[in-house]
Structure 1
Amino acid sequence: MEEHSVETTPQTFIGNERIGGYDALREFFGQDVKDDDETTYQPVIAIFAVAFLMALGLSWAFYGSILTLRAFEWFIAISMSFLAVQKLQDVETFSTMFLNYDLLAQKWVRYGYVYPFGEALAGILMVAGALVWISAPVALFIGTVGAASVFKAVYIDKREIKCACVGGGSNVPLGFVSLTENLMMIFMGVWMSARAMGLF
């Protein structure tokens, strides 16, 4: 390593020529090299697609039909739970990234550590359809704060930063996706509260 002034291994050699690591080898053979800073929506698409299919599967299993109101509720609740899991993989990195734009976390840093647990709790309880008096206010609160924070950062301050919505190491841009996540939580908070009060 010292001989070739490199910091990582393995290194590839062809004849006596040092090509380099994995990316350099791909480039040498004319293959595409992934840019780690490239923005992508792939993690969010995967989460929402699997959550949607799970919701349809649950609806089919419990009601014998995929077209039920409960399937819609499950879709949002499962999406919330999956997004929380992404954040909980590395709470420290998530909270650091979250501080870049969340208004409450900027005032009270611990909120960045509490947020993913609150989202997971609300999502799990909403999947179960239980303890609405806990899940609905939690979803409503974190959704409202989140929506206001994203709206300010993206649409008022015009900042171009990464979203912490799928964890701290993501390359998903802050904007429509994160706003949608928060609006879904607000909707579910209001929806579940209204159902619990027997309004429909």
Structure 2
Amino acid sequence: MTDESPTRAERRTRSRQAILSAAQALFAERGYERTSIRTVADRAEVDPALVMQHFGSKDGLFASAAQGSVPVEGLIGAGREELTHALVHHVVDAFEDPEQRPAIEALMRSSLTHPVAGQVMRDQVMADAQAAVADTIGGSDAALRAALLNATMLGVAIGRYLLEVPALAAADVEDLERILTPSLEALAGPGGRSTGGRGPGVGRRV
């Protein structure tokens, strides 16, 4: 008779995922300041000590929850011809996915009001996206150009999804991309022009 009970490694993986899921939900519901290690542990039905064992601190937990909510694979895989399309959909696809949006909104709102959350957003979440874009752009000022591109899309996200500025909130994604593309191309600098989303990156979640 085969013993199908989970191994210690499997139990550890499951508990870690349960904690992360609970943390993402609570940070979305309550924000950074009103979410505690104990409330996360209660939601995940684990001992608070296990949360600390996995993540070290509330800051570490927030960082892991935030990183898991903002995938950057689409930006890492995008070539220069696909870059502006990937940048627009990096924001739009995430915010318009009902499963991802609560965690991403919580991250952004918290980062604007709490220093630790802001540091996590800047140094761990945004840094990965900016590094991917800078690598694609190349050149001596790639890091600055990538930061400006990131700041532009961050502003779009805040205006469209957090503040719900009427013209931005009501705009079709196609119109957003059409109007943003010349500005994004100018910030990206010399290189191949955008294909408007018809390159090999089309259809991937970013």
Pairwise same-fold verdict (TM > 0.5): no
Give the alignment's TM-score, normalised by structure 1: 0.26
Q: Which has the higher contact order (CA 8 A, sep 6+)?
A: 2
Structure with bigger helix share is 2
